[in-house]
Amino acid sequence: MPQYRFQARLSSGQVQQGVLAAENAQSAASILRNQGHHVMQLAPVQSASNQLSNRLAFLNYSSGPSAKDILDFTTQLAVMIRAGISLRGALEGISEQVQNPKFKRILINIKTDVESGKQFSEAIAKYPKHFNALYVNMVRASEMSGSFARMLDRIAAYMAQEIETRKMVVGASIYPGIIATMAMGVTVFLLTFVLPRFAGVFEGKEEALPWPTTFLMNLSEFMVQYWWLQLLALAGAIVGFLLFIRTEVGRFWWDKTKLTMPVFKRMFRALYISRSLHTMGELLNAGVPMLDTLAITGDISGNTLYRGMWRNVYAAVKQGKKIQSQLSKSRLLPRSVIQMIAAGEESGKLGEVLDEVSSYYSKLLRDAIKAVTSMIEPIMIVLMGTIVGFIAMAIILPIFKMSTLVS
């Protein structure tokens, strides 16, 4: 029979710890409650073989669950709860099917907490990296209202939309990255393999060469001789940039740059507005208090400037002011959006208004991504043509000049 390590508070107020043998965690918790104890913690005692297998599983697959894993879990849990299966049974069934060892252990721990008498929202709150504040608060609100399965469906729909949006944004960012890499590759090939072949032709005639040819010949010689230095400089620049944007100042600069970057600024602005309003609408419709909603919205917005804006709104609402009064001081939201928020706030239908506005901006985001993708292609083609044309001109121009002198 499995054993469970427990921590319980006695009727006298003292805390007692020990090990109890029971068929399962629910039976162990029932035994302790029947003895008049308040169960504080309850966890299975792992044998040496189980501990070894868990360590080996961690070494073989140490990465945690992805957003898609959390979405699949939420969808399955909603279906099973709606079918009348208990929460404990649903968690046990899903954990047996999960392939990710780390996620499996998380679900087993959540099931153990639920069996010990904790709320599901309290159990998942221990894993903020996988179940964010929006997820936890929407679950907590559903536990109060008794609409658990329906709320899980809403959370799953929200997560599915966020995953799809992230895919679209990443896809729009990957395309120009690939084109830029190809342009750099072609340029490096021409400078390090093609241009040096003409060095012998121009040898001894350096004074007669035009400045584009002289410039590219010097650049080609530098790239061939000091290629290792350039690789180190490139790697250092990438690492330095990544470390810089992790700092508070760097993060603020990068988030501000994305909102002012030509071609991309419309896409990023639509992304942050859509995400903020969608999050806020979902939380309000779930029954989450306004102050908690504003705090979570700021954290999930994904941009330092928008997070600061929502935190200012939080401070204003905490002082008894309206949302519109603080939003009108910011330029991060269009005037029309602020007016609609004010109308929803006055009519008491703010959640419905936010759903409609976020849906509009979701469509605007898709259109912006298509526009960015369609604009990047001709820009990169023109850029590549300019670079290749400049190199070709630098090679051909002195050849024409020498042929003219010979004739």
User: The whole model's pTM is what?
Assistant: 0.69
Does the pLDDT of residue 403 top 80, yes or no?
no
Residues in the chain: 407
Residue type present at position 176: P
pLDDT 10s digits, 287-317: 888 888 898 888 888 899 999 999 999 999 9
Burial string for 339-374 (b: 16+ CB within 10 Å, else e) reads ebbbebbeeeebbebbbebbebbbebbbebbeebee
pLDDT 10s digits, 77-117: 888 888 788 888 888 888 888 888 899 899 999 999 988 88
Asked whether 328 and 341 are in contact (CB, 8 A), the reply is: no
Query: CB under 8 Å to 364, separation ≥6 — which residues?
Result: 270, 274
Beta-ladder partners of 3: 21
Q: For residue 41, what is the enclosing H or E element? A: strand 38-44
At residue 6, the 3 state secondary structure works out as strand
Tell which residue, 137, 236, 91, 190, has the closest CA to residue 394.
190
Asked whether 401 and 394 are in contact (CB, 8 A), the reply is: no
pLDDT 10s digits, 1-50: 666 666 666 766 666 777 777 776 666 667 777 777 766 555 566 554 44
Does the pLDDT of residue 234 top 80, yes or no?
yes
Does the pLDDT of residue 57 top 70, yes or no?
no
What pLDDT was estimated at residue 405?
52
